[in-house]
Amino acid sequence: MLILDSPSNDPYFNIAAEEYLLKHTEKDFAFIYINDPSIIIGKHQNAYAEINLPYILENSIPVVRRISGGGTVWHDPGNVNFSFILNGEQGQMVNFRQYAAPVLSYLQSLMIPAEFGSRNEILIDGKKISGNAEHVYRNRVLHHGTLLYSTDLRALTSALRTAPGKYKDRAVQSVRSPVANILDFLEPRASVSAFRNDLIVHLSGSFEGSARYELSGTDMAGIKELVSQKYSTWEWNIGYSPRYRMTRKIDWNGKQVMIHLEVEKGKITNVYIKSDNTDRAFFERLSGVLSGVDHEPGQVREKISGSGLVNCRLIDYFVNAIF
């Protein structure tokens, strides 16, 4: 087992590194990293349905789609993330409990009453401190998870606060659970850096023949290419969302207007705006403007602004209404 402690706190880099190590190497890895504040969504999720978009935009928080399934998680400097990238045999590679065992063992060595839960999470006193997900590629498996150590739980709650039912889709939906920080159960208390370092030491002793590993120039180049071509792109992180529909009712110049959008591969494919007869022609023209546009606030705002159909005062109001 090669033990890799990431040199970066960039979520695009670290999520890309997981795919690179899985698909472009043949060794077994334990990969430990901490990301700057970010939201990491599952491969098959509708990004907008999982995040508080106004909060994300206001705080410039990146949303990164990973290659594994499962739900959305919050990352920040108080959250230690672990990945096991391993060779295996077909039919025997999906085993959440087995792969999480070394991490569970580490927590229990600190006299923390951690246990493995029914949703493949790690719990302390019934509260979630670790979510886990997996992805199989040929004869290799990626198992990764979070460890909420001293994370900002208020930011986590704000960033993941959503309004159920806003979108209709067949995407994987996150199951919200009560969460807690490991630090609150630890005596004596230690810094997140000490916790991270001790985890690495524990993992090194858990696998026979383990050795430290540093990314080579070739590794770095491959990971940065993945970041550039995939993990930093809107097309992957947002546009990859499964097809969805949304309906909004808004007040427009004192009248009730119903807006129906259908989105596929990130693009608005169908727009229907229902209003009274006096505004029908206007909304038909507006529907034509939006058709084929990326369902992304900046793109929608730019397209409407360029059309001249809506005055500046109402553009932001309309854009906010369809996200």
10-23 pLDDT, tens per residue? Answer: 999 999 999 999 99
Q: Same domain, yes or no, for 251 and 305? A: yes
Structural domain span for residue 304: 244-321
Q: Say whether pLDDT at 310 is over 90.
A: no
Q: What is the pLDDT of residue 96?
A: 86
58 and 184, same domain (yes or no): yes
In the chain, the DSSP E strands lie at 2-5, 29-33, 38-41, 63-65, 73-75, 79-87, 114-116, 122-124, 127-130, 132-137, 140-148, 167-169, 211-213, 244-252, 255-264, 267-274
Q: State pLDDT tens for residues 138-162.
A: 999 999 999 999 999 999 999 999 8
Domains identified in the chain, total number? 2
pLDDT confidence of residue 277: 60
Looking at the structure, do residues 51 and 176 belong to the same domain, yes or no?
A: yes
Looking at residue 292, which CATH number applies to its domain?
3.30.390.50
Give the side-chain half-sphere CA count within 13 A for 69: 12
Please indicate, yes or no, whether residues 112 and 16 belong to a single structural domain of this protein: yes
Least Cα distance to 200 among 98, 81, 108 occurs for 81
Residue with tokens 């499962």: 70
What is the pLDDT of the chain when averaged over all its residues? 93
Give the span between the Cα atoms of 152 and 322, in whole angstroms: 29
Same domain, residue pair 248 and 231? no
CATH of the domain at 97: 3.30.930.10
Per residue in 80-97, pLDDT tens? 999 999 998 887 778 888
Pair 206, 294 in one domain: no
* Same domain (yes/no): 227, 267: no
Beta-sheet strand order (sheet of 244-252): 167-169, 244-252, 255-264, 267-274
pTM reported for the whole predicted model: 0.93
**Rounded-to-integer distance, Cα 60 and Cα 83, Å:** 26
Backbone angles phi, psi at 214, to 5 degrees: -120, 140
Q: How confident is the model at residue 264 (pLDDT cuts 50, 70, 90)?
A: very high
- Residue that terminates a domain, selected from 237, 252, 268: 237
Same domain for 186 and 61: yes
3-class DSSP state for residue 126?
A: coil
Beta bridge partners of 145: 82, 132
Using DSSP bridges, classify how beta strands 63-65 and 114-116 pair: parallel, antiparallel or unpaired. Answer: unpaired
In a shared domain, residues 212 and 270: no
Are 226 and 89 in a shared domain? yes
Mean pLDDT over residues 282-287, rounded? Answer: 86
Q: Which two tokens stand for residue 90?
A: 């077909």
Give the confidence band of 278 by pLDDT, cuts at 50, 70, 90.
Answer: low
pLDDT of residue 251: 85
Burial 165-202 (b: 16+ CB within 10 A, else e): eebebebbbbeeeebbbbbebbeeebebeebbeebbeb
Q: Which residue has the tokens 């930093």?
A: 232
Same domain, yes or no, for 218 and 263? no
203, 237, 271 - which closes a domain: 237
- Say whether both 170 and 302 belong to one domain: no
The residue among 237, 257, 274 that closes a domain is 237
pLDDT 10s digits, 189-230: 999 999 999 999 999 999 989 999 999 999 999 999 999 999
